[in-house]
A and B are shown apart, each in its own frame.
Chain A
């Protein structure tokens, strides 16, 4: 049988290593999974992108660091030491023979499936500062990438000092590298209240917790604990403006007055970090009880891509889990046992972790209300997408980006309705036309806001708005560093810009009347295209 020489057939990807079990993320869940896997006899590679390079953090990747990364983060050794100290289980994993790779980002997971059968098996794309970019093969992957925070626009939210709760807590508690002393926390979710408490424990004053809703939505005990500590929880307020100086935020103006602070911590919605899972093709669904879009898991914690499992916050966030790390660790041990069993390592199955109960507050209404009060009713038009500088109005009117300076003859307003047809609003369509979400932060700060904006305009629930898709690389990769360190010569020998078909680019005046494969025996010159 012939082989199309310009196709992937016969071309081999360079793979630098193999793991029976690949664990992505070395937080409590990832560590528990790696340790459990090693104890069950698997060869385990555990990667974590932390400590993330200072420059990357400066661009609010992977978390919304908001320009408040302290200078200590430039010292990579100090950051590495701080990370090791903050997680004693890393040493345990080392001792068990886990191949622990810190400062190593996983930017892509790939498995053969529908419309893809080329690869030698499941592959993961990794990158670190020393080794560059490379691929490893794996048999099972457990994704434990954690969480990030929903962004929220208000005038001035691009100023240094406005940041996500997860980023603030990570900088403060893991690295001692949060450049700020006095925080205003937005939101009263369990995760916001826990962040306020964690920041206080690190000596950072909490000037107030601001809540647009009439009452806090988080657990009563956390509310009481904060109030007992003298932290004001001010309901029915939103940030109207920030005051800044050369260093960024120095105060916020709410509907009730001015508060001095150098940090504005966004805690209105902790969301599962599903970027890698979505890019890998795992089916996700909006689940209010899990904090937003989360992977659809079977009873064995497997995603729709059978070799990929998900545990910890990236598999779902709810108040009880946020308050008790043991739940994520149970999920992880259970998933590792499932993986080990699938790979032929018998052993006693640990008990499954408790699932989330019903959502404890109406996430749909809560997120929409925040976006309405803060973004839509803002004085002025803050950029919802900071990277591409797109406002809420521009998103909802589906306006071409301003750099086109479009003065068309057809000035009729184009609304979402003219795109929707019979389907739900799709943020990817809005993204392509307005560029909202297309910048270097890969939509991490605007995704959930755009979801809420589209849902508000179309008067549908949040779960009717599809997730704006993530694509590999889920961490930005420089072109030169991404180039394979060794490439099968077959790529170069057969690399054409297009399909390399013998007759495709023959000029039309030189084409035979009939086409047969046999006729290809007569060679014709052709141009590539």
Chain B
């Protein structure tokens, strides 16, 4: 069946599973569902991967997550599984420029070793050997024999193409307006392009997940924030592109550009009509300062772009991947702002929740929605997660 075919009669446009949200989580879930032989449609308000899924640092090293082991197992296989390049590159060096940073980064050592993964503690000289652009200001570092990074744009499109190759469909430029329900079941998704029937609904709509789940009476506590990144012109490739630290996340891309982000975020109001601006700010300069500290020998490299993305966050910052109580055929997923690297594993977990009702390879209990059952109603104000009054 051709992708994006709007010529089919109205009644045939549904699917066994509808995934709302063409970001990296929704696309991965849909791809895993299609691999499992499920007829699946992804409904996306704009273009696939246009929001945070295509604007992040591309990191793949989430050692705190129950999905970590599966993330690590899958990434080296993804190019072959998807049939398109993701630019995945294994391993990472994290550089501490002072003792405080080293202490902070050392928790990763504990987490990774606890799960049987290897991290080496390396001294300043070893850091400089591995990272030719590093300078005399290195305090110490860690070498992760796992994790790594990939190209978000290429990966998102690879999921979409691989999904289409399996007969799945992606409806871009299609905005969800509501849901039709019967008893405890979601039976159709209403959009500005008409109604799509479904046997199961997956909500993976990023910052819109809270608003859309609310239409079904499901409360996913979320607040949205804006974060920023910068990228430089291409430099000669370092032996390892996965280099970060000094309060930054990011990488040297396979093309040679340095792409880094970090620093203070800004809480913003959830958009009722998604698709507004994603403005970057002069925070670019503060990020540049820290990139030049991290990689002093790249101080001459010129910034050629900066950008911002909007990210949804749960109160504890941990994902929700769950089938909410009260619904027979609903699965919700928010990766709480850290979804790109986990996507191979999160998509598979979502697929299993849909098809099997449980995840076979990871303990998702820490990602249950129910953990917020006794959350204070004014949790966002208590945590200071509120948009600033506009100064002008």
Contacts and interface: CB of A to CB of B under 8 A. Distances in A.
A497 B262 contact: yes
A6 interface: yes
Given A281-B277, A478-B301, A517-B376, A4 B285 contact: no
A3 to B, nearest CB: 4
A7 B227 CA distance: 10
B62 A529 contact: yes
Contact of B338 (A116, A133, A409, A529): A529
A441 B265 CA distance: 29
B280 A471 contact: yes
Contact of B374 (A133, A426, A514): A514
Nearest to B288: A482
Interface stretch (B24-32, B167-175, B210-218): B167-175
B64 A505 contact: yes
B299 A514 contact: no
A95 interface: no
B255 to A, nearest CB: 7
Interface centre among B111, B277, B299, B302 (most CB of A within 10 A): B302
A528 B79 CA distance: 28
Contacts of A113: 277, 279, 390
Contacts of B307: 471
B116 to A, nearest CB: 13
B104 A527 contact: yes
Interface centre among A108, A491, A527 (most CB of B within 10 A): A527
B16 interface: no
Interface in A208-228: none
Nearest to B364: A508
A9 interface: yes
B63 A517 contact: no
A2 interface: yes
Interface size class of B (residues with CB under 8 A): 35 or more
Interface centre among B105, B107, B170 (most CB of A within 10 A): B107
Given A115-B276, A473-B304, A499-B317, A518 B376 contact: yes
Interface string A482-524: 1110010001001111110101111111011111111000000
Contacts, number: 312
Contact of B225 (A408, A499, A513): A499
A173 B98 CA distance: 54
A497 B249 contact: yes
A479 B303 contact: yes
A406 B382 contact: no
Contacts of A133: 285
Interface string B304-334: 1111101001011110000000000000000
A406 B154 CA distance: 12
A383 interface: no
A309 to B, nearest CB: 16
Interface size class of A (residues with CB under 8 A): 35 or more
Interface string A390-434: 000000000011011010111010100011111100100100110
Interface in B271-287: 271, 276-286
Contact of B316 (A110, A307, A491, A503): A503
Contacts of A232: none
A479 B299 contact: yes
A135 B284 CA distance: 12
A2 B164 CA distance: 47
A476 B303 contact: yes
A482 B284 contact: yes
Contacts of B249: 497-498, 529
A503 B336 CA distance: 12
B254 A404 contact: yes
A472 interface: yes
A518 B282 CA distance: 35
Given A8-B264, A401-B255, A511 B279 contact: no
Nearest to B193: A422
A117 B387 contact: yes
Contacts of A495: 247, 262-264, 290
Nearest to A404: B85
B291 to A, nearest CB: 5
Interface in A74-132: 108, 110-123, 125
Contacts of A515: 315-316, 371-372, 375
A3 B47 CA distance: 35
B10 interface: no
B337 interface: yes
30 contacts: A4-B385, A5-B384, A7-B267, A9-B384, A118-B388, A388-B255, A403-B255, A408-B85, A420-B4, A435-B255, A440-B233, A471-B280, A471-B305, A472-B305, A476-B302, A477-B303, A478-B300, A480-B299, A497-B247, A503-B318, A504-B336, A505-B64, A505-B107, A507-B110, A507-B114, A508-B363, A517-B375, A527-B106, A528-B247, A529-B338
Interface of A: 1-9, 11, 13, 108, 110-123, 125, 133, 135, 281, 307, 388, 400-401, 403-404, 406, 408-410, 412, 414, 418-423, 426, 429, 432-433, 435, 439-440, 442, 471-473, 476-480, 482-484, 487, 491, 494-499, 501, 503-509, 511-518, 525-529
Interface of B: 3-4, 6, 46-47, 54, 59, 61-66, 79-80, 82-85, 87, 104-108, 110-111, 114, 153-154, 157, 161-162, 164-165, 170-174, 193, 225-226, 232-234, 244, 247-249, 254-255, 262-268, 271, 276-286, 288-292, 298-308, 310, 313, 315-318, 336-338, 363, 366, 371-376, 379, 381-392
What 10 A-B pairs have minimum CB-CB distances, sorted nearest first?
A: A410-B83, A527-B107, A504-B317, A421-B172, A480-B299, A483-B289, A476-B302, A432-B153, A4-B384, A501-B317
